[in-house]
Amino acid sequence: MVWKLKPEYEDSIVMLLFIVVASVPMAIPLGIPVEINPMTLKLYDTIENLPDGGIVLYDLTILNWFTNFQSDITIMKQILRRVKANELYLVIMTEGTGPIMGIDKAWNTLKLGELEYGVQWVYLGLVPGAENAEAAVAADVWSAKETDHYGTPLSELPLMQRFHSINDLALVCTGMNTSPDPPCRQFGGKGIPLILQNGISTIPLMMPYVEAGIITAYMTPGLQTAGYEKLLGELGLATSFADAQSVTVLYAILVMVASNVMYHMRRRKR
């Protein structure tokens, strides 16, 4: 007896296979080749070429775990490589409660527990006020926040003895998904490199600042971050999404070809 698939089940099978095909790269990144564009290389080189002993301020303004925050995590991974080598030092601040949850969730991924707190890195936590917070930190961080996220006075943290204003920094990074104007006004144009992690739709808004030399480099979610992960040699969630996109497009093409072949075969049998 020859088993035949009933036509009414075909759509369900196609969708089930689609879910399986899309799920595999989400669980195991395949590392399908993606383009590493010049802006990604510039961002990478900016961090790699920072002078030893420099302090990096990372300002997180938003939490979109599956998109923007993955870009933030990837940038911080590169910075933390140099922090672990005692070449750079990191200070993290947030402008909202969402990124605080993001840092907690990414703690193990970033391996922050392996660093000497207060010496290699400091977590300022929430500095409320949006652009006013950025202005305050740029002018005098000790006045903007008297304690860190854990309530420890800044005066008791060795790293903060070297960080009083933006003039003490080697790099400022801001993770966001909105207009680039506030960080460019408060952190940009002060002789300190500025890196923005921002949404793809904001590229036209960032380009004037890039051309003016105010934004040194920018990172966007999706394919650019996937290329950055490849550059770092650490495949993450952005690579998984890019892989899923690639294999599902290939699957869709195969389904279209197979459906046309089956259609003509059935017509010949009639």
Local structure of residue 117 (DSSP, 8 states):
B
Architecture, CATH, for domain 38-235: 3-Layer(aba) Sandwich (3.40)
* pLDDT for 223: 82
Q: What is the pLDDT of residues 58-107, one digit of tens each?
A: 999 877 766 677 889 999 999 999 999 999 999 999 988 888 888 888 88
Q: Is 179 helix (H, G, I), strand (E, B) or coil?
A: coil
pTM score over 0.85? no
Cα gap 199→211, rounded to integer Å: 18
Return the half-sphere exposure (C-beta side, CA atoms, 13 A cut-off) of residue 231: 23
Cα torsion 182, 228, 81, 212: sign: negative
Contact 127, 93 (CB under 8 A): yes
Asked if residue 269 has pLDDT above 80, the reply is no
Local structure of residue 178 (DSSP, 8 states):
S
* pLDDT for 3: 55
Separation of CA 30 from chain center: 19
DSSP letters, 59-73, are: EE----TTTHHHHHH
Q: What is the pLDDT of residues 22-59, one digit of tens each?
A: 788 777 777 777 888 999 999 999 999 999 999 999 99
For the chain, which residues make up each domain, given as ranges? 38-235
The residue type of 160 is M
* Least reliable range by pLDDT among 6-10, 13-17, 99-103, 239-243: 6-10
* pLDDT for 122: 97
Cα gap 94→92, rounded to integer Å: 7
* pLDDT for 118: 97
Cα torsion 98, 202, 211, 186: sign: negative
Strand partners, 123: 92
